[in-house]
Structure 1
Amino acid sequence: MSFYPSQIIEYLYCPRYTYFEYVLRIPQNEDKYFKVERGREIHDEKLERNKVYLRKKIGVTQKWTDMYLGNDYLRGKVDEVLELEDGSYAPLDYKFALWKDRIFETYAQQLYCYAILIEDTYNKPVHKGFLVYTRSKNKLVEVPIDQNAKSLVRQSTGEMLKIIEGNKFPKATKFKKRCLNCTYRNICTK
């Protein structure tokens, strides 16, 4: 079984997402949210506009757009896979968001997942990734990616499998504020 980066992010947000979604098979219906839909539209527009654009500013020698990658435990579509001048590779992801002087953990986690997929697919090291904030005039932000971040992703997929295969109801997140916006808040026993 393999997971999408969004599912890893949900697990890290609260392990019960995995239980509700995969064990009980209760969908989130997140497609109803405006930002999700608008983000998908912006993503498609940016991919179309940037097909011939190489990011010289960050030392890109080659890029591939809209790449679907997978391994035994992870899969996903990377907006751009960049080959850099030093021979390393990097993921680039477009976000329909404003830059607020900090990188949200969910965005970083997604890049960590992509880093693993790129390393496994291209057999090249990934030390950083990039985010483009489309609602802030396409601000480009570099995100360092270390081995600990990639290890957390791998560990998370193992824990997710334990929940699914063992039909195990996990402990909820210790951050109770997260429950306020959870799509499962009405059925979860906090």
Structure 2
Amino acid sequence: MDDNGPMITISDVLEYLFCPRFIYFMYCLDIPQHQELKYKVIRGREVHAEKRTTNPHYLRKKLGVIRREHEVFLASRDLRVKGIVDEVWFLDDGTAAPFEYKFAEFKHGVFSTYRYQLVLHALMIQESFGVAATRGFICFVRSNDHVEEVRFSEEDFKQGRRVIQDILAIIETGHYPKQTRTASRCIDCCYRNICV
């Protein structure tokens, strides 16, 4: 916690978008979810380690990349959010972009969780590097490393800020939020036995 209040992580944002009650259980009741034991989390970490060491100097010039930095820690006291982006790309048009690897398949669209992860990374890149970040990229490892570009609108940035404020409101007030509207997410949820 700093002078402005608690800092949240990008992972917290992803959990909130999956189901707002994750924030309540993790922060208000201090009940960890132990995601590190799940196969996809373990495999995702292995993929990140592999990508970090494979061809470390390769630049995706077809996408306009002229320089990249790996595993960049980003933090914003203003937004009260922090996280590590897999790569920050510096592009030939003078902008920068977050790049994330996902141990997932590309199925003709980008999940909102992935979009907001990129949006929040972009906001922190803009603050940290003083350069515009109007798009991001995701590499879908299970679809032959398909790279998808995600362009951001002003509304994306506004919504990203609103999500952070909603999360902080739960933490600071102890408000018990409504559960996700997607019932199928509850089936394998680590909190399903205590979620009323």
Once the two structures are TM-superposed, the CA of residue 146 in structure 1 deviates from its matched residue by 1.7
Matched, 1:57 2:62: yes
Equivalence for 1:93: 100
1:161 to 165, 168, 173: 168
Q: Superposed, which structure 2 residues align to 1:3-152 within 5 Å? A: 3-72=8-77, 73-152=80-159
In the comparison of the two structures, how many residue pairs are matched?
189
Once the two structures are TM-superposed, the CA of residue 10 in structure 1 deviates from its matched residue by 1.5
Structure 2: stretches of 5+ with no match in the other structure: 1-5
Once the two structures are TM-superposed, the CA of residue 86 in structure 1 deviates from its matched residue by 0.9
Q: Say whether the 8 Å CA contact 1:70–1:76 is kept in structure 2.
A: yes
In structure 1, C-alpha distance between the alignment counterparts of 2:189 and 2:158, rounded to whole Å: 26
Matched, 1:188 2:195: yes
Once the two structures are TM-superposed, the CA of residue 97 in structure 1 deviates from its matched residue by 1.5
In structure 2, C-alpha distance between the alignment counterparts of 1:77 and 1:166, rounded to whole Å: 27
Once the two structures are TM-superposed, the CA of residue 128 in structure 1 deviates from its matched residue by 0.8
Structure 1: stretches of 5+ with no match in the other structure: none
**% identity of equivalent residues:** 40
Once the two structures are TM-superposed, the CA of residue 93 in structure 1 deviates from its matched residue by 0.5
Q: Say whether the 8 Å CA contact 1:133–1:139 is kept in structure 2.
A: yes
In structure 2, C-alpha distance between the alignment counterparts of 1:96 and 1:175, rounded to whole Å: 22
Q: Say whether the 8 Å CA contact 1:8–1:153 is kept in structure 2.
A: no
Structure 1 stretches of 4+ moved >4 Å: none
In structure 1, C-alpha distance between the alignment counterparts of 2:179 and 2:104, rounded to whole Å: 28
Deviations 1:135-184 (A, max 9, x none): 22211111112221122221122122221111211122233333223221
What is the letter of the counterpart of residue 102 of structure 2? K
Once the two structures are TM-superposed, the CA of residue 50 in structure 1 deviates from its matched residue by 3.5
Secondary structure (helix, strand or coil) at the match of 2:187 reads helix
Structural RMSD (CA): 1.3
In structure 1, C-alpha distance between the alignment counterparts of 2:181 and 2:143, rounded to whole Å: 32
